Structure 1
């Protein structure tokens, strides 16, 4: 060592003498360095002369001379011990080595930071360095030459990466030096991979261009489980909807998002004009009300699909739809008809010092709605505004996104308006093998709306004729006020201790609540001034754990093992007050106890599920899974759900890929304890009978399908399915002639559904027209009752084989269309674009309300009797299947059930980029102003013309 001395000491005996001699030389430093981040510790030279100072002061002096920062916990380091350092042009590595030996420390360099820790018995590598650099670049669409927002950039082997920002830029910091393969992927694009060498302290730029293509077999899906899986490994029918597709269609309401977009999925809005009260079923309804699709938002199950009415579609990054009861393998109990897994947008980690800001402003004009082919009275302000703002960003291992949306719909028809406010927030942090995410969504909307829009027909000749003077003739009857609120919040934890072992925990809660009350009396008599109000609250708490292990057994065989557990706690509280009075501020004035009802339900269930997937040569995959849950009948034993068996085979021939798949499986729906022992709070008005003999509802079946991929240009997916629902529970009316009315929950019937699902995508690149894309979806569904319990038939007129029996063997389930689908063509050269879309549906079985109300409240003749309502006596005779029945003139007979005609609705969207960060767009929904629907119970909107502007910073 060329220095006369380099020592640090705890004792002053020897060094105090030397210190006195050299004390005058404490100044006179000579040191010049380049940035510390780019140099090796052995190459960094330091000149220091300090005598009898504390260790903390010595470290601070080195910080000043080297631009390094020491990081330590004060309790672990002897900072007050004395130190003397006298060196000239000595390497920092040697100085730290002496410090380490004399004070029992270790030093670890990470870029420009040196971590100091107490030595735990090490004798070697006391001074180490994690040399690292930075990778950054931009991911570009080959067609539009613009950045691809949300593209995923992953460094293989390290399993770290970043998501591209709105302009396609990304930054990955603190990458250990070395050679790596970078893989880039984005939904709707082909994958790209590139090798890169990372050097200490340097930034390496890697820019990649992706081609938009039909989704292939290597597409990553099922992000709701412990580990992501490729499409070719899963035998189930799965559709992915991306944020880009949502934007192309100009969709603003969730109820419209699934219409004609996903085969086999029926999304209906039972709120009429306002698109609220969203109901979602997959492949038709086979079980009771719980047969609706199971919906997750960032791993948290929503308590009621009505929550989706207030969901801000601008916050959705992607949505995965698994059709059929086979989703039990990944999502456990209650996934009887399918699962919708919604993944929201996350913040970009691109190293910017300021966040990304995106805003959108739109204004719409709504054409007159119709009911029964006749236009309804136009409101004073048939306009709609939708405004949204989002902020997202991140640094290093932390990212966030905040979004807010405010929508307001004016009076499209008299006394019908809506305002909605929603908020979403996400935060995500990556700490080595741990990833933690926080998610929050909240929305509220208030609505003034006719509760039964059917009464619009000949409204002025109906109830208003009994109203007192001054009553607003033409006011929608009855006029209701709805006040809704929804929220979901949760935490997601991911832990990947090894490259093959994955763990995921989701904990959260979803709440849906609303209150509605009548703003005008019924006026059954001229003096009638009584009102009604109801409140509804439901919450669902979710705890889910998933684990998975992926391994290659040898060169030919692979094994994926996954399993998990889910605990769900459900609460329901419904209260209703009839024949009451309240003030304008909604304070109760009068209340009659016999008209009050309150239903409180609490249930909980847990399930355990496991799946084994065996792969051969990355072509053939065999899957088997099962689930266990508490048996609702015994409440203490367990029930094994029908297992799922699946097989899929795929291969590639030059630019052509194909897959054939088959699947059999089922799921069980736990019985709600409130069905077994229901409670009525108004026993003089309504009585529920106990039924301890209820059995679990079961939905099971099979499907066969094939998927064809023609290079990057086109794909076709075709599926045939057949499923059956057994032990279907229904609330059966046993006595409804006079109060108290008597009901009981019973295993009432069985239903079978079968059909065909088609989905196709094409990019006309093979014709040198890659700017043009085509998409199509079609579903054929046969959904019929196959059996009805003899006990139910004997006790309930609704199920009898008679002219007033609404449900009989062979009947189609109401509300499920036979044919449905959509087609879309898009031209998108980059700076501007245009797309046209058509949605079609038909064949749904429902009551033909128009004809019924024209008879019941107008002057039309009864279909069966040939006379008007006023001309008939209390009953009339109907001949049905060779027998004569006396039917009440107030009863809806089977003659009024029809299958809705096939209808088409056309949409058009165009956009133009004013500059890179600003776009104007025009949407015209329902161009032909067709107000047809699968039922005619609600007033539907006509043409909606929207002009909008969005920009980002």
Structure 2
């Protein structure tokens, strides 16, 4: 392991440590102003198109670019909410060129700066693939700042959650199904450019990712495999942490209560009974700039009683970010995160009337899960010349979870002989008897300690009108797990992309990536739940121990992508892209055994799934008051990895196994409308239509399969056909109001409780939220919010009730 880490260090970090020398002696400076008001415009971006040189205007609208070489260049001026401007210039050695610019107001959406789509800064109107941006203002408007609750307001993004600290899945344009534990997520989550998906299962723990100190979120909705690797087959979600440039101190406290449903609709006598369900969140943040050092530190703590039984949760979260500028052309950045969450594990309802708790004694409601997530990353960026920059990264990502199935002794589970003497104590699970939790007895718990050591380097070159990006990355995974076995694996990748203008209006992009994924195991021994060899002393079945060879230890693919953007004018563009992607199965998909309430069998023959995707889209800003983004997409999957019930006894327990069972095709149309009819009001509306079909000849093999209704037999599980959302914000004289909502159509196909009538299928809900913020005086805000105003009782996952109405109250202080 030490050799692997050392190798990554030498390959990816050391090349970036040379001092940059741009060699130029000229200076460009000037003033950026609002064309309509003649007021200085702070925060405008000024970049020399052919180089890495640029600057941002200060509070007085002034900017300065130093070390410019002699020559002819194009200087680009841009700012959010303003039309971009380009100016051709010619500078001589030692010249100080003054270039003043007035920017006219334009579309806020089209002028947003995006990095994740092409791994360098572009205005949204210039992007070759569909990307949504959630700004800091939009994040702060949310009454509860968890990443999943922010993402559910984005067009084309849908969440499937079991509630509380349970499993959850995000899908971008239908990219994912639901799997217990979030296994096999096809969406890559980045935090400051570092992957947060768990190394063992690729899963994302949304309840652990609070939104404190996040500057913005970028959601790339097309496959990102050509740039980011196999984990980005279904898209990329990139959260960028804030880093203040002056002294800041912030404190925030929010608390509230859940409003139970009516007794006529849901039995509330068992839970919550007479108890008031309370929750709170507190956070404190401090940042500053001292000389060439900037830093930001955030701590948050939350506690939640849970809106239903076994949904209680307590969390602690620390985030840290620091940047040191060695020179004007070189800096080192450190990012860190430590999160700890403990809580119950929600279980399926007893029936619809008893959706919040089981009306009789139930052993699963005392299960406890502890989860720790740690990430630390180091980034070095150096401008090597006017046309070349280099970025290198090293990181460690650790995910550890522990499930205690029977955490505390209870006499309820005493086992007695005929004379009433206690002879044993255990809870009976499908996978076997569970005695009270003992850290020295692996039969009383499941856990997984997964660590990923990774690094990468990316070079950016401007030459002859071309923007060339090339890089390499590597990772080493070390997993010790009772559920996924002990495994090690590694992956390497190399990518290249060339963006260039064919004409002043047409820009092309060609990219490709090669990925190789390898596991250090040639066979797997497991409990074969399909072959009972006897019974034990407690009359529980004893299963065969079976060994299977690993057929595909090494998987690889070449993933190309081509894209084009045609700019009719500064506020109108058409885009198109096509590409191929691969995703190797995670260690969890290959080797999972027991999973929650179901039995699993590892699969030594599992191979990679592959995707061919294409989209075409149009962005049009009619004025600063109205913009429209429309895209059509086509995604075709081969060897799609899905779980299948492999038990030949249709009346027996489900025994699942992940297999390459499907060929699937997803067609869709996504519409995003943004409007600002007056300065005080902004409105965003999104709609996504999706046709998600399993087009393989054996679609009924999928878990749930032919038990679904007729129109759901060949429909991919948990993909909604219609998804609609809106968000409106109003600001006036210290008062901020927000109103939002989302509609998800009824799910046609499920996996766990499929039935021909579609009874109790999730979806078909419309949930609305409202929030308010009032500035008492500079620095102090009072906040209030209501989530699920109508107290709608709904499910995102069958037999798992989602949260009803909740009331939130709090304050925010900033200095």
TM-score band w.r.t. shorter chain: 0.7 to 0.9
- Are 1:342 and 2:239 counterparts? yes
SS at match of 1:334: helix
- Are 1:383 and 2:278 counterparts? yes
Greater alpha carbon shift after TM alignment, 752-761 vs 925-934:
925-934
What is the CA-CA distance between 1:173 and the residue it aligns to? 11
Q: What's 1:782 paired with?
A: 691
Q: What's 1:306 paired with?
A: 204
Give matches, 1:420-569, under 5 Å: 420-432=315-327, 433-454=329-350, 457=353, 464=360, 478-517=365-404, 518-519=406-407, 529-530=426-427, 531=434, 532-551=444-463, 553=464, 558-569=465-476
What is the CA-CA distance between 1:394 and the residue it aligns to? 0.6
Q: What's 2:510 paired with?
A: 624
Q: What's 2:666 paired with?
A: 753
SS at match of 1:814: coil
Tell whether the 8 Å contact from 2:640 to 2:663 is kept in structure 1 after alignment.
yes
Q: Distance in 1 between matches of 2:105 and 2:115?
A: 23
Q: Distance in 2 between matches of 1:952 and 1:675?
A: 46
Q: Distance in 2 between matches of 1:931 and 1:459?
A: 10
Q: 1:602 aligns with which of 488, 494, 500?
A: 488
Q: 2:139 aligns with which of 246, 250, 265?
A: 246
Tell whether the 8 Å contact from 2:694 to 2:714 is kept in structure 1 after alignment.
yes
Q: What's 1:612 paired with?
A: 498
Distance 1:744 1:560, change over 3 A: same
Distance 1:278 1:679, change over 3 A: closer
TM-score under structure 1 length normalisation: 0.65
Distance 1:711 1:839, change over 3 A: same
Q: Distance in 2 between matches of 1:743 and 1:943?
A: 35
Q: What's 1:644 paired with?
A: 561
What is the CA-CA distance between 1:153 and the residue it aligns to? 6.1
- Are 1:666 and 2:586 counterparts? no
What is the CA-CA distance between 1:285 and the residue it aligns to? 3.3
SS at match of 1:845: coil
What is the CA-CA distance between 1:659 and the residue it aligns to? 1.1
Tell whether the 8 Å contact from 2:176 to 2:186 is kept in structure 1 after alignment.
no
What is the CA-CA distance between 1:753 and the residue it aligns to? 0.9
Q: Distance in 1 between matches of 2:587 and 2:751?
A: 36
SS at match of 1:698: strand
Higher relative contact order (CA 8 A, sep 6+): 2
What is the CA-CA distance between 1:449 and the residue it aligns to? 5.0
Q: Distance in 2 between matches of 1:403 and 1:574?
A: 31
Q: Distance in 2 between matches of 1:921 and 1:210?
A: 34
What are the superposed Cα offsets for residues 181-219 of structure 1, whole Å, 9 maximum, x if unpaired? 999866556669999xxxxxxxx9x99999684222x54
Q: Distance in 2 between matches of 1:385 and 1:746?
A: 42
What are the superposed Cα offsets for residues 633-691 of structure 1, whole Å, 9 maximum, x if unpaired? 765685322x2122221122xxx731111111120112457867x59799xx9885764
Q: Distance in 2 between matches of 1:183 and 1:730?
A: 48
Tell whether the 8 Å contact from 2:305 to 2:312 is kept in structure 1 after alignment.
yes
Q: Distance in 2 between matches of 1:153 and 1:460?
A: 52
Q: Which has the larger radius of gyration?
A: 1
- Are 1:356 and 2:242 counterparts? no
Tell whether the 8 Å contact from 2:226 to 2:513 is kept in structure 1 after alignment.
yes
What are the superposed Cα offsets for residues 280-301 of structure 1, whole Å, 9 maximum, x if unpaired? 1211136894343111111111
Tell whether the 8 Å contact from 1:450 to 1:479 is kept in structure 2 after alignment.
no
- Are 1:319 and 2:319 counterparts? no
What are the superposed Cα offsets for residues 260-303 of structure 1, whole Å, 9 maximum, x if unpaired? 32x22222333x1x265442121113689434311111111113
Give matches, 1:682-693, under 5 Å: 688=601, 691-692=604-605
Distance 1:666 1:755, change over 3 A: same
Distance 1:897 1:544, change over 3 A: farther
Which 5+ residue runs of structure 1 have no aligned equivalent?
1-129, 196-203, 468-474, 577-597, 853-891
Q: Distance in 1 between matches of 2:609 and 2:646?
A: 21
Tell whether the 8 Å contact from 1:787 to 1:809 is kept in structure 2 after alignment.
no
Q: CA RMSD in A?
A: 4.5
Tell whether the 8 Å contact from 1:364 to 1:385 is kept in structure 2 after alignment.
yes
Q: What's 1:77 paired with?
A: none
Give matches, 1:868-879, under 5 Å: none
Q: Distance in 2 between matches of 1:401 and 1:259?
A: 27
What is the CA-CA distance between 1:132 and the residue it aligns to? 12
Tell whether the 8 Å contact from 1:370 to 1:942 is kept in structure 2 after alignment.
no
Q: Distance in 2 between matches of 1:478 and 1:806?
A: 31
Tell whether the 8 Å contact from 2:57 to 2:63 is kept in structure 1 after alignment.
no
Tell whether the 8 Å contact from 1:285 to 1:813 is kept in structure 2 after alignment.
no
Distance 1:834 1:918, change over 3 A: same
Q: 2:682 aligns with which of 766, 773, 783?
A: 773
Q: What's 1:932 paired with?
A: 794
Q: Distance in 1 between matches of 2:351 and 2:367?
A: 13
Distance 1:447 1:826, change over 3 A: same
Tell whether the 8 Å contact from 2:165 to 2:312 is kept in structure 1 after alignment.
no
Q: Distance in 2 between matches of 1:146 and 1:234?
A: 28
Distance 1:913 1:712, change over 3 A: same
Q: Distance in 2 between matches of 1:481 and 1:141?
A: 60
- Are 1:820 and 2:723 counterparts? yes
Q: Distance in 2 between matches of 1:253 and 1:799?
A: 31
Tell whether the 8 Å contact from 1:922 to 1:947 is kept in structure 2 after alignment.
yes
Q: Distance in 2 between matches of 1:312 and 1:454?
A: 31
Give matches, 1:165-314, under 5 Å: 187=80, 213-216=107-110, 218-223=111-116, 227-261=120-154, 263-270=155-162, 272=163, 274=164, 277-285=167-175, 289-304=183-198, 305-314=203-212
Q: Distance in 2 between matches of 1:372 and 1:575?
A: 43
What are the superposed Cα offsets for residues 481-537 of structure 1, whole Å, 9 maximum, x if unpaired? 222211211011112112322221221122222222234779799866434532233
Tell whether the 8 Å contact from 1:382 to 1:410 is kept in structure 2 after alignment.
yes
Q: Distance in 2 between matches of 1:238 and 1:703?
A: 12
Which 5+ residue runs of structure 2 have no aligned equivalent?
1-24, 90-97, 417-424, 428-433, 435-443, 519-550
Tell whether the 8 Å contact from 1:921 to 1:947 is kept in structure 2 after alignment.
yes
Tell whether the 8 Å contact from 2:344 to 2:365 is kept in structure 1 after alignment.
no
Tell whether the 8 Å contact from 1:560 to 1:614 is kept in structure 2 after alignment.
yes
Tell whether the 8 Å contact from 1:489 to 1:510 is kept in structure 2 after alignment.
yes
Distance 1:152 1:451, change over 3 A: farther
